[in-house]
Amino acid sequence: MVEKFAACDLDGQHAWELYTIAGFCLEKKAYNDASLIESLKDGSFGFHCNRPLLWLWRYSSRQKKVSLSEFISKSKKTDNIKWDDFFHDTSKPLVVDVGSGMGVSLLNLAALTSGDDSYLGSDSLQMTWSDFNYAGADLNQALINFGNGILSRDTTTQRPGRVHFSCLSAEDFLTELQCYPGGLALIMINFPSPYRLEVGMSGNSQLPSKYSNQFMVSKNVLTLVADLMFSSSALERGRESLFLFQTKCEDVAVHVKNECLSLDTMECIHFNHSIEDIDLIYQEMGKRPKRVDEWLKESPVGRAEGSMYSSTPLLPTAGRPETEVQCSLEKTLVHRCLFRTR
């Protein structure tokens, strides 16, 4: 019950009293999680914590995946996004999540203040999260309704007028962003549904093929991302527009990185804390994923290792997508790349 309250971002005196009572109950029963008990008692437990985010991950993972073709067949033509209707100040740069799901990452990033974690990948890439507006899009209307529902109940001054979610395809959303006045600070694609491996290999046959328009991170999508980054970097006059990509699948990470670099308008940011030997990391985690074994049969060119892949999280702890929390607790390797305009 407490997890559900937090997962709905319910706060205020009554919620805090509930969390405090739960903390004392767990303490009395000698529950073996001192940090959880302390967070419940001291008021730091909430929407950004592991347990409610895992509850949301379980809920989201049970939802039927909406394919692009299904979305197009059911959707009605809508007017262009009227940015001034959703944001108090459209001169602020946007942080964007394409395929935002339930909107967890954007909602929590928007709640950060200037005193919270500000780095993105390295100390040289400072992000003052309170300076931005936030926009996300997804094909699943129910998930979009969840994110906007949290905003409708928000009584603080941090997120209202700074965050909005739209039910749009990736290409349509990125096209709409071309008309946003304030430019883009960061574009994210976090843990998209993967494509299927080559014919004849095991795996989910219902997944789209690598080069179909059903795989969200298509060449067209990446081209739109690159164009937005270039125009935003020029608009901001010195502020770099960045693109963050995260996935659980090594082959997807290598494919998207190669597609980005093939555009000749993006370059990877190199990390000091990088993936040096990916098979050693798999060994330390206990097992190399079966999908990786299948993919290696294709004799791929390159692995998700080297200075272009970060071995540490790039987003602040309180701004992680729910899937990243699940990966951390399940000891699943996350492949992370960060791009800027060449």
**What CATH number should be reported for the domain holding residue 187?**
3.40.50.150
Query: The domain containing residue 19 runs over which residues?
Result: 2-46
Residues 57, 59, 60, 61: is their CA dihedral positive or negative?
positive
d(CA 148, CA 318): 19
Nearest to 216 by CA among 169, 258, 250: 169
pLDDT of 12 reads 81
71 in a domain, yes or no? no
Longest dimension (CA), the chain: 60
Nearest to 108 by CA among 139, 55, 51, 150: 150
At 13 the pLDDT is: 85
Indicate whether 248 and 308 sit together in one domain.
Answer: yes
Same domain, 161 and 292: yes
Would you give per-residue pLDDT tens digits along the chain (342 residues)? 899 999 999 878 888 899 999 999 999 999 999 999 999 999 899 999 999 999 999 999 888 777 777 677 666 656 689 999 999 999 999 999 999 999 999 999 999 987 777 777 666 577 889 999 999 999 999 999 999 999 999 988 889 999 999 999 999 999 999 999 999 999 999 999 999 887 555 556 668 888 777 899 999 999 999 999 998 865 555 678 999 999 999 999 999 999 999 998 999 999 999 999 999 999 999 889 999 999 999 888 899 999 999 999 999 988 999 999 999 999 999 999 999 998
Q: Are residues 42 and 155 in the same domain?
A: no
281 and 141 in one domain? yes
- Same domain (yes/no): 183, 307: yes
